[in-house]
Structure 1
């Protein structure tokens, strides 16, 4: 293959990739919104995905988000540790909380889902400053394909079952050149016939 042909194919594929990426992100957002709505209204957390002929190819499942304790103000957190657990402060050129202690406190706060920490040595319950419970992973969903699901989707795409369902602008009836449908037929703006992929005469 010549450089010219290879570069042209790269440009064509990049164009298709851009269109597909935008459409995919928009559809994923729509599915997430509908899944959240279905979960709230009916408790539905999973749906089967089928081809137009009824063949099941995958399942879409709602995934739960999670939250964990994070230090949001290191100086305030360090001042609290210095006052109540000075032995957990590492003194170097600058003072810092020992990573093991910070990890322990944050893990315990994550487990209870709040910033109140019961000191195991004194029994005092501290509302730990400089720490907040923040989302670690947003709620989302995943698509789990059946063993032959991807192959079935590709076969359906090639045979036209998905025309008008997925990216209809890419699966519409091809615009044919004069060799394919007569002198007065509409042509693609790209300069190539969408049916035979030859330059339009």
Structure 2
């Protein structure tokens, strides 16, 4: 292959890669919207991806964010930590960030937020509900990628249908 042929190949593959990346991101957004709707409507969290002949190739699953405890009132929380865990308050009058992160992760996301040892309500903290899922995982089934490759090579997958270079209909 000549240098000119290699240059053409690299340029074409770059255009195709960018097109595939754009289609993939659009397909992910559409899939996420569909999964969120299916979760709300049918309490469905996962779906199996199959080839046209129904051979399973992957499982797509919503990733549920976890609820978190946040500091709703910095001063109230600081005052509580100073009274209950004085060694964790720095002289510049703030809760040590590494302790704060670790402490917040140990708390139950219940409102009001309470100390797990004493049951006392911790001033300045609030529990926030988990946001809607922002992503999903795609786990190929064993042998799934090889099955996709075989189906592509055998002409069983229509890449014109899966990938449109102009973003429109094929």
Which TM-score band applies after superposition, normalised by the shorter structure? Answer: 0.7 to 0.9
Give the counterpart of 1:102 among 93, 100, 103.
100
Q: Supply the distance in 2 between the matched residues of 1:17 and 1:46 (Cα, whole angstroms).
A: 28
Q: Which residue of 1 aligns with 2:67?
A: 67
Find the counterpart in structure 2 of residue 173 from structure 1.
none
Instruction: Flag the 1:46–1:87 CA change in 2: closer, same or farther, 3 A.
Output: closer
User: What is the Cα-based RMSD across aligned positions, in Å?
Assistant: 3.3
Cα contact 2:115–2:121 (8 A) shared by 1: yes
Structure-1 separation of matches of 2:28 and 2:38 = 15
TM-score by length of 1: 0.64
Residues 42 and 160 (structure 1), Cα distance of their counterparts in 2 relative to 1, 3 Å cut? same
Q: Does 1:159 align with 2:150?
A: no
Conserved? CA contact 2:71–2:124, under 8 Å: no
> Per the alignment, do residues 90 and 33 of structure 1 end up closer, same or farther by CA in structure 2, a change over 3 Å counting?
same
Aligned to 1:148, which of 143, 157, 168? 143
Q: Which has the larger radius of gyration?
A: 1
The runs of 5 or more residues in structure 2 that have no matched partner are: none
For 1:26, the equivalent position in structure 2 comes to 26
**5+ residue gaps in structure 1?**
171-201
